[in-house]
Amino acid sequence: MHTTEKNTGWLYFQVAFAAAVWGGAYPFTKRLVAEISPLSIIVFRALTGSLLLLLFSGSRFALKDFKPAHLWKLLVLSVLGVTSQQYLQAYALKYTLASHAGWLIATTPIAVAGLMAAFGERIGPLKLAAFVLGFAGSVLVVFSKAGADALSLPSTRGDLIFLTSCVGWAFYVLCAKKWLTSWPAAKVTTATMVVALASALPAWYAAGGPAEFSAVSAAGWTSLAYLGVLSSALAYLFWNNAVEGLGAVKSSYFIYLEPFSALLLAYLMLGERAAAPAFAGGLLIMAGVYLVNRKESRRAPKGAAADA
Top pLDDT among 259 and 220 is at: 220
Going through the chain in order, the beta strands assigned E by DSSP cover none
d(CA 239, CA 20): 11
Least confident of 57-66, 126-135, 175-184, 259-268: 126-135
Give the DSSP H/E element, type plus range, for residue 301.
none
At 40, the amino acid letter reads S
pLDDT of residue 48: 93
pLDDT of residue 241: 83
Is the predicted pLDDT of residue 145 greater than 70, yes or no?
no
pLDDT of residue 88: 93
Average pLDDT of the residues in 145-174? 71
pLDDT of residue 249: 65
pLDDT of residue 84: 92
Least confident of 110-114, 187-191, 193-197, 294-298: 294-298
Q: Which of 247, 256, 196 is nearest to 18 (CA)?
A: 256
Is 302 buried (19+), middle (13-18) or exposed (0-12) by CB count in 10 A?
exposed
Residues 6+ apart with CB under 8 A from 118: none
The angle subtended at Cα 176 by Cα 142 and Cα 194, nearest 5°, is 95
Q: Which of 82, 10, 95, 92 is nearest to 45 (CA)?
A: 82
Predicted confidence (pLDDT) per residue in 257-295, tens digit? 888 888 888 888 988 887 777 777 777 777 777 776 666
Length of the chain (residues): 308
d(CA 99, CA 103): 7
The three-class DSSP label of residue 271 is coil
Mean pLDDT of the chain: 80
Is the predicted pLDDT of residue 130 greater than 80, yes or no?
no
pLDDT of residue 306: 30
Is 111 buried (19+), middle (13-18) or exposed (0-12) by CB count in 10 A?
buried
Q: Which of 103, 184, 185 is nearest to 142 (CA)?
A: 103
Average pLDDT of the residues in 59-77? 87
Q: First CA to last CA across the chain, in angstroms? A: 27
Is residue 127 within 8 Å of residue 113, measured between CB atoms? yes
Please give the model's pTM, rounded to 2 decimal places: 0.81
Q: Which of 158, 42, 163, 29 is nearest to 105 (CA)?
A: 163
pLDDT of residue 298: 46
Sign of the alpha-carbon torsion through 173, 188, 244, 56: negative
pLDDT of residue 133: 73
The angle subtended at Cα 28 by Cα 27 and Cα 34, nearest 5°, is 95
